[in-house]
Amino acid sequence: MAEIESLLPWIANIHVFQWDLPSVYPLSDGELEWARYLAAIAKAGRPVGTLLEFVKDASVDQFRADAASLLRIIG
C-alpha cells in the first residue's frame, strides 16, 4: 500500500493478476486484496485503466471468470 500511495500521482493503468510465482491463481483468490489496492488508487481522483494479465492456464474460461471478478471488485 505504501508503494501505491507514493506512486499515485503517476499511476495511469493497472495490470490486474493474482500470482505467487511460479503459480498463477484465479483472480477471485485475491478479490479482497485487489479491492484494497483499487480503493487506494481511486484516491487519485481520476480514471485509472485496469486490464487483466497472467490468466491461470492461459484459459479463455478462466479469463471470463477473472473478468467477472474484476467487475465485482470495481463495482
Q: What is the pLDDT of residues 9-21, one digit of tens each?
A: 999 999 999 999 9
Which pLDDT band holds residue 75 (cuts at 50, 70, 90)?
A: confident
22-36 pLDDT, tens digit each: 999 999 999 999 999
| The model's pTM | 0.88
- Sign of the Cα pseudo-torsion (42, 14, 1, 62, in order): positive
Kind and range of the H or E run holding 51:
strand 49-52
Q: Residue 2: pLDDT above 90?
A: yes
